[in-house]
Amino acid sequence: MSDQSPDSFRYDAQVDPGEKRQFRYEVGETYLGDPVEIPVTIINGQHAGPRVFLTAGIHGDELNGVKVLQEIAAQFSPAEVHGTLVCLHVVNVPGFQAQQRDIPIYDQDLNRSFPGREGSNTAGRMAHQVYSRFIQQCDLGIDFHTSTRNRTTMFHVRADTSNPEVQRLAEAFGANVVLAGGGDVGSLRTVATADGIPTITVEMGKAHRFQRPLIDRGIVGVENVLAEYDLLPEAAVTEPAWRKVLGGDQEKRWLRADTGGLVEMEWGPTPLVHEGESICTVSDHFSTEEHVVEAPFTGILVGVLENPVALPGHPLCHLARIDSETHAEIEAEIERGEFDGYRAFGLRWMGDGEEAE
């Protein structure tokens, strides 16, 4: 981590110590030859410290993180930051404009394209500009995502916890659930971590929405990280009531539909399910056939289907196993009224289909 006297942050230009700069940086061109520009905020503190990047919108329809970055960028000034905060508000601008996950036309996944290279395809070239100009200059990072369309995900962190520095970062962020693993080839967190830049992914809610409870938790998570790494030396890290790190094929599993039909979710009011409990049913249009999907083990629903139709093989829910100790901790939090399962997904009662306020 950077511990020398404050220095300028250099990309093509530079942001000097004590300076906050907001600008658009060109990463590509449109069919008309117009620039494709990503919005960037760099807050270079008056005092030395680590350089932290925050990214959102690598998948263009995943919006909760975009709002987190907007508010974080507005919240802090160089006078209070010890180090540098680099906010890449929307990385996949073409996808954001089209409100779709991948880069339009070519259906290229930007989050499988890092670190990119100059002579690559569209996604690879964009990834190269982002990575070489901004990410490589940083010491650690947080990449914000949501579930893909038609599904929603519990607020959680994904991290390679076999790396002690990544584990420290994941714990500092303060989510209840951490899914352990190295991530996909070409994803930002996988590439950055391998380059010695500890990075976590934050998954929160669903696409195409701002979900205020999850956004607020994301902001607290960023503040926790800034406090842990002394970018905000006077601040304190907020610890969650419970935390579970889950990893390995035996601890998390996607449950899939064996038949096509209409899906009715039955879990709730918390995402804690017990072995043998019904999670959902899949029925035909005549109500003559019904397939009940039961929990194969006691665990937490990390992700669930929202679109109430399914084909055979369609993912219905993502279930993560928990041990008896974690089960007891969650049950105790539920009894205290401190664990709202639907709000963990940014939802109200599942029947009304609206976000929590």
Q: Tell me the pLDDT tens digit for each residue of 171-219.
A: 999 999 999 999 999 999 999 999 999 999 999 999 999 999 999 999 9
Name which of 205, 200, 169, 204 is nearest 187 in CA terms.
Answer: 200
Averaged pLDDT for residues 23-36: 96
**For domain 248-344, which CATH number applies: 3.40.50.720, 3.40.50.300, 3.40.190.10, 2.40.50.100?**
2.40.50.100
Helix (H) or strand (E) holding 173: helix 164-173
Task: Please give the structure tokens belonging to residue 312.
Answer: 């055979």
pLDDT of residue 348: 58
pLDDT of residue 134: 98
Q: How far apart are CA 323 and CA 15, in angstroms?
A: 48
pLDDT interval class at 350 (50, 70, 90)? very low
Of residues 323 and 143, more confidently modeled: 143
pLDDT interval class at 146 (50, 70, 90)? very high
Q: Identify the DSSP state of 46.
A: S
pLDDT interval class at 101 (50, 70, 90)? very high
User: Per residue in 171-183, pLDDT tens?
Assistant: 999 999 999 999 9
pLDDT interval class at 90 (50, 70, 90)? very high
Using a 10 angstrom Cβ sphere, with 0-12 exposed, 13-18 middle and 19 or more buried, the burial of residue 334 is middle
Of 201-210, 234-243, 276-285, 325-334, the poorest mean pLDDT is in 325-334
- Residue 110 pLDDT > 70: yes
Fold of the domain spanning 9-228: Aminopeptidase (3.40.630)
- Residue 262 pLDDT > 60: yes
Q: Identify the DSSP state of 240.
A: P
Residue 312 has phi, psi (to 5 degrees) of -55, 130
- Residue 269 pLDDT > 90: no
Say yes or no: do domains 9-228 and 248-344 share a fold.
no
pLDDT of residue 33: 95
Burial 43-58 (b: 16+ CB within 10 A, else e): bbbebbbbbbbbbbbb
pLDDT interval class at 349 (50, 70, 90)? very low
Of 24-38, 239-253, 272-286, the poorest mean pLDDT is in 239-253
Question: Where are the domains positioned within the chain?
Answer: 9-228, 248-344
